[in-house]
Amino acid sequence: MNADIQRLGYRPRAPYQLDLEVFTVADLRHRGSKEKVRTTHRYEFHALVCVTQGACTQVVDFKSISCKPGSLLVLRPGQVHNYGRDEDWDGWNILFRPEFLPVSTTLRDPRLTVDLERLPEQVILSSHELRQVTDSIQQMREDTLVDAPLEDLHALLRHQLHALLTRLVILHGHQQAQEPLISPALQRFKRFQQLVDERFAQWHQVADYASQLGYTEKSLARAVAAARGVTAKAFIAARINLEAKRLLVHTEVPVVAIAEKLGFEEATNFSKFFKREVGCTPTEFRQRQRDPT
């Protein structure tokens, strides 16, 4: 992974004033140097990356993801992403601020919102579905160039983004048609997953989550095992370690400060925990990521 990891906010080049930007990977390469395109970033915005031709291996949160035409990555704020070293491929990028997501404005239409959590990290589209999605993206790209009041353009693009995201949710739902109903166990896991994302730095014990959610530890353990094939304790540990990896590679924050940020009273306890889960100390992980050779 590239050592030059940067936090990337939504900062489109002047005079672009919209809160949503659409461009191709080829556009991105044209904008900057080869090494700049290969730089790893931690996003502060939502992003969709839809591969339309060629093959590549992208990296999301230290995990390699193989992509081919029809692969669509759903990247969320806080995630670390790298386009990879492959060059013989192209696709679309859609960037938008979290606050640009369509929101319900009336009590009569609560479904005007789109729950991005319903989408997986990678959506696989058929050739027909890919054409539908790319047609929508192409239209959005063209409409960003329309000469119209900014307020009207924002409204138009919000509706188009809502339609695109809803289409992706529907397509993914079709792929999961063999399990049309969400089981009680999966509902338990979803609530647990959301709470872990919110409290992993404060709560390290399964009992804390079970108590807050009103479940027994056994029922929670069964739900996590069914959804992810791991124990609830291992799921919490993985989330803590993911954030530790992000901080170690993305920032210059000392290991002692990272330990405190993640809820460890002693840095030595954090180091033991990290080594047990990852196989090396936090310092060794930081050094290896920044100097792979």
pLDDT, tens digit (0-9, with 9 covering 90-100), for 100-147: 875 544 444 444 466 677 788 999 999 999 999 999 999 999 999 999
pLDDT for 4 equals: 41
pLDDT, tens digit (0-9, with 9 covering 90-100), for 203-233: 999 999 999 999 999 999 999 999 899 999 9
Say how far apart CA 168 and CA 136 lie, in whole Å.
11
Contact, 172 vs 119, CB < 8 A?
Answer: yes
pLDDT tops 50 at residue 287: yes
List the domains of the chain with CATH numbers: 6-175 (2.60.120.280), 184-290 (1.10.10.60)
Say how far apart CA 230 and CA 145 lie, in whole Å.
48
Say how far apart CA 50 and CA 69 lie, in whole Å.
8
Burial class (CB within 10 angstroms; exposed 0-12, middle 13-18, buried 19+) of 20: buried
Say how far apart CA 70 and CA 88 lie, in whole Å.
15
Q: Is the peptide bond before 184 cis (omega within 30 degrees of 0)?
A: no
pTM for the model stands at 0.76
